[in-house]
Amino acid sequence: MASPFESWSLDREIVLVKLLNHPRSKVFAAWMRPEALAQWFGPTAVKIESHEADIREGGIWRFDMVGTFEGKQQRFPNLMRFLEIVPNERIVMDHGTPDPDDPNRFRVTVTFDEQADGKTVLTMRQLHPSRERRQVVIGFGAVEYGLQTLDGLAAWLDG
């Protein structure tokens, strides 16, 4: 069976963009350092508990997002598998649960475009396995949560 990530279509994609007031080498480094990643990654309402972080091509980051939702503490296990890392340019990863057969896993491509003024345009593209799955994640707040993640990165870099 062909991978849903071998082809691209707009109706399966979510694109988030953030202008950061830092050079791309610093922005890229924030993705490569596990202790940094755990501090800024994720929506504002969650805490990241990192269990394993081997950030290199072929490596994984296994972590839980922990937060209070609908009045109760909840834990969401996550697994990122790093497929491609081009220093200061691009990171490609699959993001889903630790289940190796997770049907909702999605492909993430992060690019780092340094501007003439030393700022960086970070673009994060999510390619979901189907248009229906994209609609589900948009419905539960993936765009807002993604923008909160990028805001967290900006605050961490500024701090």
4 lies in some domain: no
Q: What pLDDT, on a 0 to 100 scale, did the predictor assign at position 50? A: 96
Cα radius of gyration rounded to whole Å, the chain: 15
1 lies in some domain: no
Q: What pLDDT, on a 0 to 100 scale, did the predictor assign at position 69? A: 80
* SS3 of residue 93 by DSSP: strand
Query: 64-69: long-range contacts (C-beta < 8 A, 24 or more apart)?
Result: 67/43, 69/45
The answer, yes or no, to whether residue 2 has pLDDT greater than 60, is no
5 lies in some domain: no
Q: Mean pLDDT in the chain?
A: 94
- 16: tokens are 């988030």
Residue 70's pLDDT band, with cuts at 50, 70 and 90, is: confident
152 lies in some domain: yes
Q: What residues contact residue 65 under an 8 Å CB cut-off, 6+ apart?
A: 42, 43, 46, 47, 48, 75, 76, 78
How large is the average pLDDT for residues 20-28? 98
The answer, yes or no, to whether residue 112 has pLDDT greater than 90, is yes
* SS3 of residue 103 by DSSP: coil
The answer, yes or no, to whether residue 7 has pLDDT greater than 80, is no
Domain that holds residue 119: 10-158
- 7-16, 43-52, 77-86, 135-144: the lowest-pLDDT one: 7-16
53 lies in some domain: yes
Task: Tell me the CATH number at 50.
Answer: 3.30.530.20
Beta bridge partners of 73: 68
pTM of the model: 0.91
30 lies in some domain: yes
Q: What is the domain count for the chain?
A: 1
21-37 burial by CB neighbour count: b if 16+ within 10 A, else e?
A: ebbbeebbebbeeeeeb
31 lies in some domain: yes
Q: What percent of the chain has pLDDT over 70?
A: 95
Beta bridge partners of 60: 81
CB 104 within 8 A of CB 96: yes
The answer, yes or no, to whether residue 8 has pLDDT greater than 80, is no
75 lies in some domain: yes
Residue in 127, 92, 124 with CA at minimum distance from that of residue 20 = 124
CB 72 within 8 A of CB 81: no
Side-by-side strand order, sheet with 13-20 = 13-20, 120-127, 106-114, 90-96, 72-86, 60-69, 47-53
pLDDT tens, 119-155? 999 999 999 999 999 999 999 899 999 999 999 999 9
Q: What pLDDT, on a 0 to 100 scale, did the predictor assign at position 4? A: 65
